[in-house]
Amino acid sequence: MNDYKTRLELEAKWNELAAKANDWQGYICLSGSADITEITGGLPLFSGLEQKGNFIFEANLYSKEKDFSVSIRQLDDKWLVKEKDKPLEKFNAGKEAFIEQKLISRMDGKKMKFIELWQAEKDELCAGLDILKPKWIAFVGLE
């Protein structure tokens, strides 16, 4: 599900996520700070994140227990919230074309893990042949 949220809607979504799981792994970047806050376990209170007028600029969270991924990006005056249910289950099933990515982060050399689904689609610019196109990407933790 992709959805643009207002600040109040984002707070409600954050509270919903906090109630959903207690094993979150990921990070949060706040405006006005160069620091990246690593998340392990329960989510911090939303009100605590907004101290001194800061707001969530970017966040990627993953619950291993629920196999649930959430990506949050601040865009203009809203936040894009992308949720993906069971990304690792789909990846491990091996029935579709996936790419696993590991990107070096600024968090003590930890790697951010993402998986991306690619699906074959006919492309008129390639003589109607099937080519792989990206369909979704999901954050699946730190390593």
Q: Where exactly are the structural domains of the chain?
A: 2-85, 88-142
- What are 47-84's pLDDT values in tens digits? 888 777 789 999 999 999 999 999 999 999 999 999 99
Tell me which of 2-11, 53-62, 100-109 is least confident: 100-109
pLDDT-derived band at 104, boundaries 50, 70, 90: low
pTM given for the model = 0.84
CB 75 within 8 A of CB 57: no
pLDDT band for position 105 (50/70/90)?
Answer: low
